Structure 1
């Protein structure tokens, strides 16, 4: 054995130990005289040094990759891009066929494949792994790396047919999964897989775990940034809401000041609408109860029952102006520059309350004046000559010219609605008040039909229920209170008899129903009594039999007592009509067709047809 080796041989051996490819050691030692034992030892040590050098070179590459990942973490911008790079580096350094990262949902306990490299099936990206299934469940539940050299034969965890199909479609055989940890919480799993059987080494597991730690930092940072952004957005929204609330409160304070000034200075309802529109930067319209119609009327009804500002469609809102149950009007607000919120709607509701107070104040003055006018009307209708003395002079003192009043209208509504009816008729410019259980109004309408129709429309809108209105003409001359009392009495008699005729909601004149009032005067009882007294046998017969005798008798009288015309009108045979008339003669008597008797029977039949319960 030579004690020394040539320098060239030593240098060659050192180069072979550090070379990426294995060198020909035997060729280097071929020109040197060495014992076989020494040559074998040199070959062994050279291979060992080469393996160590290879391990350190690989370790250097791993560290370089990890350092690159760390630098990218410090410059975190796009989470998906950074995760893609991490998966790519892990794929290159671990050297597996497929590398992918799944994100864990703590709520559903599912894993969703978020980033892949090396896959061929497009359906693999986004694949959902149910909880408790496959290798992934072992990693999540154990919070440690897990691997299998042959997935199809794995028995440590239950399989899922959909997951097995996805794995088979990729041709994956061996899999390694390492958890992505954020403290004690699993937030994902990084997988490395081969399409052949493979036993993963501790170095591969350690390297993949290092990349998993980096990926965990990326996901956790992204989640923290998202939470921070959400918190910032929430804080910004809260600040914006606070700013809007402060601005709304300032507007409400401004309106409150303006409304207070209006109350103190004796303002009116239109002034409130102007102040409200100016503060809320919107269009505000004040409507009378009579002008409410369509969808807006429905919105006002809802506001009337709730006491709140209610939507009226197309960005508009309605708020009723109420004084107890009485509807005094309504505000229509059309949204403008300011979006309506709770403060704005509450401001509108307060404006409606102030408007109601102003209206009540004005109504108190008007009511005092109306009370005087009501007393004046009561004196005009009184039977006491002393109360009627100087009535024209007292009327002129209240601004009423009796010679300009042409009609009297008597209105019938339930007792609890008479006050609203009087309020609705205050615009007639004449005296209005309650008299003998009805509302009486004097108007300047020359036509009593027009006067009754006007009163009916005004009161119907106010009470939203059936109304009976009867008009009658008056002379309008000063001192002609006798004619006024007579016409008011005729109208009152007519309004009392209308329900007996089946009428409950109409506007008529006293002259229209003069024959009935002349015959019976006021009262339903007299009408029923008259009908029963004149044609009672006919009614009894119809009640016991088919109920055809009264209709036949009515048609017979309406067709000039012609059997042929009656049969044609009722679509009957002439003999049937004659038989029924014979039965009527038996019940009413042989002389029922004499002129005087026939007139009374004709009226009774007419009343029986009009009356619901004769």
Structure 2
């Protein structure tokens, strides 16, 4: 195929110089066959190898040497371009493959490893790895690595401001280092450098992985020999870094989505539990409210709570006495033995004090004791609810259920106490009517007593109870529970109990029951038994006898009026009158005994009981007659010569008896 063209003519006036040969000159001067052209085209292919054999290929062509050299250079240039385009195609194919994997792969860690592997293969380095940030420390940690020969590279942590990777992250731009270990443009870290040296890395390049304005990490390619990374290689590495950014961003979003889903599931489960707990609480509250409306008891409340909470529940009154037990344990209604002091144990009392302050359940600091909540009405402690420990801890809703139950128990207690107060008031009025002026309305009293199951004709013995004023209300309440057939009330400032028993038994019974409840001194005096018509007179006798005993200092005993009747006829009931009489009559003798430890009063009593016979006195007391006579002489010295006369001796006898009754002898 002929090549045509024109040749530029030289200026004849100028000296002739040799001109460079161009493709146009070749076309003008030379001709090439079709076979030669085809051979050149085959040489240009990317897979044909170096094109230094152009002269051999075109040996049969009639071409000058300079033309052949020019053709060979052109072929090499075109062949390099074709090779570069082929490599670019291969790189683009790898990027497209990673994009497809990015769309299809659901495991971010596996996809990130594949991306690092592809970058390792295409860039042709010895090592490639990805480092991402740890929050909130700001440290870069190597997540995936390909080509490493030591286990230390994986997981190495690059502190802020250190190493090539951190320099890339902070500058948000690619950075390369031909000799990393001696590069003074990088701030080195001893631990990181030790790992790099262990890998034998010499040259490296790093590119940032960006997600908007945020740097997610760094993609690094490294060589164990000296290498200068080209712009094309950095661009390719940046493309893989962009894909790695998508992977990390996807992983982060996926983790956030999973965490959000888990949080939503947990919140939904918690909401379901709370809803169930609220429904259960509402149902329990409904049952407890119904119990109040139908006049339920503490036993019913304890049973409801024990069933819902699946543990033992006990309800105590204000004195710590058990009222109900959900476990079915017997609740003792009998009063405590004389001398026992009811009350809450120390740990429970401490928990109840805290519960009264906060209005909430409080743990009892005692093994196996569970929780306690105070039953409170206003400022008054009405009792307590104790909830034992269980296999599963109580939820906040369960605690609120117990706290609401305490309010229900307070309402029940107030209702019961209101009923009891009304009954006490009615019974107190009945007692006052029986002992007062209105007792003439006997028929009406009989009807009122009969409506409460009491037979007035059976009430034979009046009993007067004397306690400190602060205990009077509790004593009256305890008196109402002494016996079904008894009638108790308050009359003229005294607690009175009317019983069918004989005086001695009645006095002991009343004192035992009330003392066990109060845990304080109780003076009980029973009047003589008699007909219901004479109750008022016998009550007055018992009340005066009680005052007489108080005057004598006897405030914690059970007595009857029989042993004190003579003295009631002689003296008033005031302590001052009695004390003045005893002091005026026997003061010197009492003082002598007190100062010297003698027994003049005892000798005097024995003398009186022996009808003023010294001999009989000595025999009765087990003393020698001379001893008795000496003591009587001392009494004469203290009281005067006339003390044995009938009138003074009578007065001295009464004073000695009263002094003996006061417990001083």
Shorter-normalised TM range? 0.5 to 0.7
What is the CA deviation profile of residues 105-141 of structure 1, one whole-angstrom value per residue up to 9, with x for unaligned ones? 4533222222222233333322222223333333222
Contact 2:462 2:538 in 1 (8 A): no
- Residue 536 to residue 58, structure 1, CA distance change in 2 (3 Å): farther
Contact 2:355 2:361 in 1 (8 A): yes
Q: What residue in structure 2 maps to residue 71 of structure 1?
A: 100
Q: What residue in structure 1 maps to residue 407 of structure 2?
A: 353
Q: What residue in structure 2 maps to residue 612 of structure 1?
A: none
Q: Does 1:320 align with 2:374?
A: yes
Q: What residue in structure 1 maps to residue 206 of structure 2?
A: 177
77, 84, 89: which one pairs with 1:60? Answer: 89
Q: Does 1:291 align with 2:322?
A: yes
Between structures 1 and 2, the one with greater helix share = 1
Specify every segment of 5 or more residues in structure 1 that has no aligned partner in the other structure, as ranges. Answer: 461-466, 502-507, 515-519, 540-549, 558-590, 609-614
SS of alignment partner, residue 99 of structure 1? strand
- Residue 71 to residue 332, structure 1, CA distance change in 2 (3 Å): farther
SS of alignment partner, residue 176 of structure 1? strand
Q: Does 1:48 align with 2:77?
A: yes
Shift of residue 489, structure 1, vs aligned partner? 7.7
- Residue 315 to residue 177, structure 1, CA distance change in 2 (3 Å): farther
Q: Does 1:158 align with 2:187?
A: yes
After TM superposition, list the pairs within 5 Å mapping 1:218-367 onto structure 2. 218-273=247-302, 280=308, 282=310, 285=313, 287-289=315-317, 290-291=321-322, 299-311=351-363, 317-332=371-386, 341-367=395-421
- Residue 421 to residue 246, structure 1, CA distance change in 2 (3 Å): farther
What is the CA deviation profile of residues 140-182 of structure 1, one whole-angstrom value per residue up to 9, with x for unaligned ones? 2222212222233334453333333333333333332211111
- Residue 436 to residue 90, structure 1, CA distance change in 2 (3 Å): farther
Distance in 2 between the 1:219 and 1:184 partners?
Answer: 15
Specify every segment of 5 or more residues in structure 2 that has no aligned partner in the other structure, as ranges. Answer: 1-25, 324-343, 564-572, 600-630, 639-655
Distance in 2 between the 1:286 and 1:10 partners?
Answer: 109
Distance in 2 between the 1:379 and 1:243 partners?
Answer: 64
SS of alignment partner, residue 122 of structure 1? coil
Contact 1:110 1:128 in 2 (8 A): yes
Contact 1:111 1:129 in 2 (8 A): yes
Contact 1:286 1:329 in 2 (8 A): no
After TM superposition, list the pairs within 5 Å mapping 1:402-421 onto structure 2. 415=470, 419=473
Contact 1:17 1:46 in 2 (8 A): no
Distance in 2 between the 1:536 and 1:388 partners?
Answer: 52
Q: What residue in structure 2 maps to residue 136 of structure 1?
A: 165
SS of alignment partner, residue 222 of structure 2? strand
TM-score w.r.t. structure 1 length?
A: 0.67
- The CA RMSD over aligned residues, in Å, is 5.4
Q: Does 1:25 align with 2:53?
A: yes
Shift of residue 210, structure 1, vs aligned partner? 0.8
Contact 2:463 2:506 in 1 (8 A): no
Q: Does 1:197 align with 2:226?
A: yes
What is the CA deviation profile of residues 312-354 of structure 1, one whole-angstrom value per residue up to 9, with x for unaligned ones? 6879654433222333344455799998554554344334323
Shift of residue 436, structure 1, vs aligned partner? 9.4
Distance in 1 between the 2:106 and 2:524 partners?
Answer: 87
Distance in 2 between the 1:5 and 1:150 partners?
Answer: 53
Distance in 2 between the 1:111 and 1:240 partners?
Answer: 37
Distance in 2 between the 1:485 and 1:160 partners?
Answer: 106
Equivalences, count: 531
Contact 1:13 1:28 in 2 (8 A): no
Shift of residue 65, structure 1, vs aligned partner? 2.0
SS of alignment partner, residue 132 of structure 2? strand
What is the CA deviation profile of residues 196-229 of structure 1, one whole-angstrom value per residue up to 9, with x for unaligned ones? 3332211121111111111111111122222223
SS of alignment partner, residue 201 of structure 2? coil
Shift of residue 245, structure 1, vs aligned partner? 4.2
Contact 1:20 1:54 in 2 (8 A): no
Contact 1:300 1:320 in 2 (8 A): yes
TM-score w.r.t. structure 2 length?
A: 0.62
Contact 1:490 1:510 in 2 (8 A): no
SS of alignment partner, residue 215 of structure 2? strand
Contact 1:103 1:112 in 2 (8 A): yes
Shift of residue 188, structure 1, vs aligned partner? 1.4
Contact 1:16 1:25 in 2 (8 A): no
Distance in 2 between the 1:494 and 1:148 partners?
Answer: 113
